[in-house]
Amino acid sequence: MNLKRIYAIIIRQLFLLRKNFTRFVNIFLWIALDVILWGFITQYLNNVSKAEFSFVPAILGAVILWGFLVRVQQGVILSFFEDMWSQNFLNLFASPIKTTEYILGLIGASIITSVAGLSFITVIASVAFNYNLLAIGLPLLLFLLVMFIFGLALGIITISFTLRFGPAGEWLAWIFPFLLGPLSGIIYPISILPNILQIISKIIPPSYVFEGLREIVFKKTFSPELLITGALIAFIYLFLSYLIFVYTFKIVKRKGLLARFSSEG
C-alpha cells in the first residue's frame, strides 16, 4: 500500500472541490436546510404540546446524526462520480494504483467533507435553536462512529452497483439512504413499525443509534449494548462492502466494462 497514492486521490478531490463551488451546496446547504426545517418543527411541537420534555434533543439531534451519515455516503460517491463524469477511469487504473488505495482515498475525502458539514450544522443548531449536540457527551463519539462506518459501507456498496451496471446505476446512490430512513427510526421508535419491518430494522445500524439517543434524552440512561450491537453490524457491512467492491471491480475489468467510463468508450 502506497500512502502517496492515497494522498493523491484525496488531494485531487480537494482540488476539484476548490474549482467547483456547486459541490459546496451538497456539503453544506441541503443538510443545513434539514436542520432549519426540523428545528422549527420541534419548536412548534414544544409550543403546542404539553409534554414535560423538549422535542429538540430527540428530533434535532437525530436529524443531525442522520445528516452526517448521508454526508459520509455522498462524500464517497461524489468522489467516485467525479471520476465517472470526467471519464477518467481508464487513465486512473492504468496507473499502479490499487483498489484498496483508491477506496482509502475516497474515504479520506469523505472524512474531510463530512466533518466540515457536521461542524457547520452543529453551529447552526446552536445559534438558531440553542441546541448543543456536544451536550450528549462521550456517547456522541460512539453515535458518530456507527453512523460514519455505516455511511462508508453505503457509499462503497452504491459505487460498486454503479461500477457494475454503468452510469445508469447512478440513481440508486442518491435514494439508497432515504430508502433506509423509515426503517431506521430517525424521529420515532422502532416499536411503532409493523413486526416485519421491526425485524429488518434490527439489521440496520442507525436504528441502534437513534434508540440509544432516545434513551439518553428520555430516560437519562446510556445503553452500551445498543451501541456495541450497532457498531458490530456496521463493521460487518463495511467489510462486506469492500469485498463486494473488489469482486465487482475484477468482473468489470475482466469484461472490459471500464470502457463505459472513458471517452473512448
pLDDT at 195 exceeding the cut of 80 = yes
Residue reference for cell 422549527: 40
Mean residue pLDDT of the chain comes to 84
The predicted model gives 112-136 an average pLDDT of 86
Q: What is the pLDDT of residues 222-262, one digit of tens each?
A: 888 988 999 999 999 999 999 998 898 888 877 776 666 65
Q: Which of 7-11, 90-94, 131-135, 212-216 has the highest mean pLDDT?
A: 212-216
Domain boundaries, the chain: 3-264
Q: What is the pLDDT of residues 203-230, one digit of tens each?
A: 999 999 999 988 888 888 888 898 899 9
Q: Which of 148, 121, 175, 130 is nearest to 235 (CA)?
A: 148
pTM beyond 0.75: the answer is yes
The predicted model gives 108-129 an average pLDDT of 88
| 185 φ, ψ (degrees, to nearest 5) | 65, 50
